[in-house]
């Protein structure tokens, strides 16, 4: 099961976040900071799957944008890895180029 979905830029700023389990606002900030630190500090040669606390992180980098998905231990990492890629392909087709303005629009869509 997917626990959360994050889009983060290279500076470590969260551009989009969506949680599928209740997490208090102050805990979200701490969680996002730790998750971002874990993913951004890894080299491109390292695996895109990271064990973190009681769940796994699956992430992909697209230019200056990182997409991070937190999943439970039973979820298939490769399926989520492909899901991320398909999501980015859809955004690319629909918006022709994924930039910060696109992420602001997505934030509004996800909050519905």
> 2-109, what's its fold?
Beta-Lactamase (3.30.450)
Task: Please answer whether residues 90 and 63 qualify as being in contact, where contact means their C-beta atoms are separated by less than 8 angstroms.
Answer: no
pLDDT tens-digit map of 19-28: 999 989 999 9
pTM for the model stands at 0.81
pLDDT in tens, 85-98: 998 888 777 776 65
């Amino acid at each position: 099961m997917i626990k959360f979905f994050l889009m983060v830029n290279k500076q470590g700023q969260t551009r989009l976040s969506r949680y599928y389990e209740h997490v208090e606002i102050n805990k979200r900030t701490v969680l996002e900071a730790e998750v971002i630190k874990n993913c951004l500090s890894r080299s491109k040669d390292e695996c895109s799957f990271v064990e973190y606390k009681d769940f796994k992180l699956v992430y992909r980098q697209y230019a200056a944008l990182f997409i991070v998905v937190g999943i439970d231990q039973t979820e298939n990492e490769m399926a989520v890895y492909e899901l991320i890629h398909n999501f980015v392909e859809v955004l690319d087709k629909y918006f022709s180029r994924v930039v910060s303005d696109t992420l602001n629009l997505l934030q509004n869509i996800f909050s519905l």
